[in-house]
Chain A
Amino acid sequence: MNDVAMLWNVLAALIIGLAYLSAIIFVGGLILRLVLYLKTPVPLKIVQTPGPKSAPGVMARLAGDVLIFPNLFQADKALWLGAWIFHVCLFFILLRHTRYFLYPVPGLVVDWQTISVYAGFFFPVPALYLLWRRLAMSRVLYISGLPDYLTLILLTAIAATGMLVHYFARVYLVDVKAFILGLLTLSPVAPPQHPIFLVHFLLVCALMIWFPSSKLMHAGGLFFSPTRSQIDNVLYPRYVNPWNEEVPVD
């Protein structure tokens, strides 16, 4: 075995190790965080009124929050449009990527292939708008920190490298699928020897590691926001605070 091949084997092993590590941090961290939210009590009714009067109503309110961001629409139309397109693009991109994980590829993913590719190409537009907004609007600049910029830059870089390997410097898809399915079936094989693909993949690993510790938790955390997820029955039935007795009044 020559030196280059050995180096590649070491690198491949490191990439595989990192892939598993980031998957564990992502899935484990996400679950731990959401379980923590779930287990933390909500002592008082703090539902945003007027709100839904029933559980199905709450589900509709949350579904609306996930799909169309009604509060943001009321707050800022330009931001709403940018953020909504941003998330719709993300949705299509993620949907399309299931073709590397699933065998056979679901019909829906095949049908939506074209629009999903366009979403990938278009993604930097809303992402750069959000970045521009952070820099150009003084009051958004004031609240923006390094993680806010890094998140947008990271996502844009992932999208850009993704489009490169899809269109301009194509990676051999069979190799990609073999690599991913190998990881999923716990019988890993070496990744494709394609530098841009490897950058793309490593950036995704970074995103997965970053996710549970960051504001990206809004993805799951929204469902645990009491103002949106409580029922607007402020009077009846009696709402119980599990730690009320621990606070003495006499």
Chain B
Amino acid sequence: MTEKWTDFPATALKWEKRDNTMRIPVPELQEGIAAQQTCYPSKAKDMRAIDLPTERVPDWQARAIQKLQQLLERYRALRVYLDICAQCGACGDKCQFFLGTGDPNNMPVARANLLRKVYRYYFRPAEKILGGEAEAFNERVLREWYTYFYQCSECRRCSVFCPYGIDTAEITMAAREIMAEIGVATKYVTEVVAKVYERGNNLGIPGPAWIDNCQFLEEELKNETGKDIRMPVDEVGAEVLLVAPSADNFANTDTMMAYGKLFYALGISWTTSTYCNEGGNFGLFLNYRNLKKVNKRILDAARQLKVKRIIWGECGHAWRAGIYTNTLNGPMDFLDPPYPVHICQFTAEMIKRGALKIDKTANDDLIVTYHDPCNPARAGSLLEEPREMIRATCNHFIEMPANTIREKTFCCGAGGGLLTDEIMPIRMAGGKPRAEACRSTGANYLATPCAICKAQLPEVMKHWKVNVKVGGVHDLLSRALIL
């Protein structure tokens, strides 16, 4: 762990399950307790690579307000949400980062108020006159923004409990975009985007290493199944381009091999691309321009490889960015509809059609529970398909308490660009709700279709001493699939 380790008193609170509902303990306010938990600032070379100022620009205050003005003109959500919040506080105890830290600035409404007070100062004079909190965009405010807008995982859980659907992720995204504009961003997010432009994926795996990994996985599959299951790379004319999170090729290899088995069983030709071997899109956590630019690589790869379909792999925010593909860089009409397609939708459909032979007993050693990643659940309408897959491949499936799943799912604690070690205390505190919900099921396998969750949750479970293995949804299929 890092030197900045803090034990938040909030995490000592006891979580209990009663009648399939998690009783959620609300912490006492601990003002400023998370204020020191900041991400490392970006490096000049990464900022240069992604078209952002390499250091804070001299006229940063004026530029920031100009940018805020532009965003207000471009995003209805931002303008409406800054105006209409009634400050009722219903969202306060819904954010895993507030529940974990007790820092009042991690209440969604208070987080949004960090931007709202600046908005009021420059754009809403009447409220200022009547004593509404207003503050110029100064050094102190920038510091608050940098801290607390990078303690938000943009998971949108708060919006589900807001009477007006106010989505704090929209506020966080705006604040991050403004900061990026003046040259303020985090090392982790900017480094990842820069790696995509340089190497094609978030992990920075070079093309030859990617091909090596795929060959290695082919050998593994041969040893396991005795069959020649291919993990194709850069194959022009393949039917399907798979854009999985690059972590599947490198860390979550069971998931990657499962894709191979799936396409083998279906007899569908597929490929990955060394130009774009990444479904994830950290532009989503930074600014619109990089969101669009990273996203464009997927369609460019699809055109180069002349595929008929693009299938997104097991990654949460990749699916959110994936949904935007048609808007950002479409039309996608050079592909066969429907598009875009998530691998869970595809596989669930194939199972429904009876195209796969499955032996559920292969997973009888597992008691499986399912973690909804925030983006598929609350922004991607992907709730049923992973569950259908689990029911079709496992005999023992148990849901976590009702107020912690589906659209009310807790974030793993590291989405939205927070999966970086220097804020480990925030990650562990934010992951506590998910850990406790998981503990209450007694499951020994936590399935989730998201690479960030798969990287974060094992650490969370270890930290909070929940004895559960974390893995993909397709990993379960892989075990049960009869080839």
Q: Give the interface of A toward B (CB within 8 A).
A: 33, 36-37, 40-51, 65, 69, 71-72, 74-76, 79, 83, 137-140, 142-148, 150, 210, 213-215, 217-218, 221-222, 224-228, 232, 234-236, 238-241, 243-244, 247-249
* Chain A contacts for B339, CB-based, 8 A: 235
Question: In the complex, what's the smallest C-beta–C-beta distance from A125 to chain B, in angstroms?
Answer: 17
Interchain CB contact under 8 A, A147 and B165: no
Interchain CB contact under 8 A, A226 and B84: no
Contact with A along B80-99 (1 / 0, CB 8 A): 11011111111111100000
Q: Which segment of B140-148, B246-254, B271-279, B375-383 sits at the interface?
A: B375-383
Interchain CB contact under 8 A, B107 and A234: no
B292 within 8 A of A: yes
Known: A37-B80, A147-B131, A217-B84. A137 touches B327 (CB 8 A): no
B228 within 8 A of A: no
Q: Interface extent on B, as a size class?
A: 35 or more
A248, B289: Cα distance in complex, Å:
7
* Chain A contacts for B331, CB-based, 8 A: 238
Considering the complex, give the chain A residue whose CB is closest to the CB of B376. A49
Interchain CB contact under 8 A, A48 and B165: yes
Question: In the complex, what's the smallest C-beta–C-beta distance from B329 to chain A, in angstroms?
Answer: 8
Could you name 18 residue pairs across A and B whose Cβ atoms are closer than 8 Å? Answer: A37-B79, A40-B74, A50-B407, A69-B163, A71-B90, A139-B92, A142-B104, A222-B84, A224-B80, A225-B166, A226-B80, A227-B156, A227-B167, A234-B380, A235-B323, A235-B340, A247-B288, A249-B292
Question: In the complex, what's the smallest C-beta–C-beta distance from B9 to chain A, in angstroms?
Answer: 14
Question: In the complex, what's the smallest C-beta–C-beta distance from A35 to chain B, in angstroms?
Answer: 12
Question: In the complex, what's the smallest C-beta–C-beta distance from B446 to chain A, in angstroms?
Answer: 22
* Chain B contacts for A144, CB-based, 8 A: 87
A59, B271: Cα distance in complex, Å:
43
Known: A218-B163, A225-B77. 20 other contacts (CB 8 A): A36-B79, A37-B76, A42-B75, A46-B170, A65-B163, A72-B90, A74-B160, A79-B90, A142-B29, A150-B130, A213-B124, A215-B83, A221-B164, A227-B166, A236-B337, A236-B338, A239-B326, A247-B289, A249-B292, A249-B329
**A43, A138, A139, A222: the one within 8 Å of B164 (CB):** A222
Interchain CB contact under 8 A, B327 and A238: yes
Question: In the complex, what's the smallest C-beta–C-beta distance from A94 to chain B, in angstroms?
Answer: 18
A222, B296: Cα distance in complex, Å:
34
* Chain B contacts for A222, CB-based, 8 A: 84, 163-164
**B93, B130, B379: the one within 8 Å of A210 (CB):** B130
A145, B130: Cα distance in complex, Å:
10
B206 within 8 A of A: no
Main secondary structure of the interface of B (DSSP, over half): helix
**A41, A213, A235: the one within 8 Å of B338 (CB):** A235
Interchain CB contact under 8 A, B327 and A241: yes
Interchain CB contact under 8 A, A43 and B75: yes
Question: In the complex, what's the smallest C-beta–C-beta distance from B367 to chain A, in angstroms?
Answer: 27
B1 within 8 A of A: no
List the 8 closest A-B pairs by CB distance, nearest first.
A146-B131, A213-B126, A75-B161, A221-B84, A227-B165, A75-B90, A228-B165, A49-B381
Within 8 A of A (CB), among B151-197: 156, 159-167, 170
Within 8 A of A (CB), among B384-416: 406-408
Question: In the complex, what's the smallest C-beta–C-beta distance from A131 to chain B, in angstroms?
Answer: 12
Considering the complex, give the chain A residue whose CB is closest to the CB of B382. A49
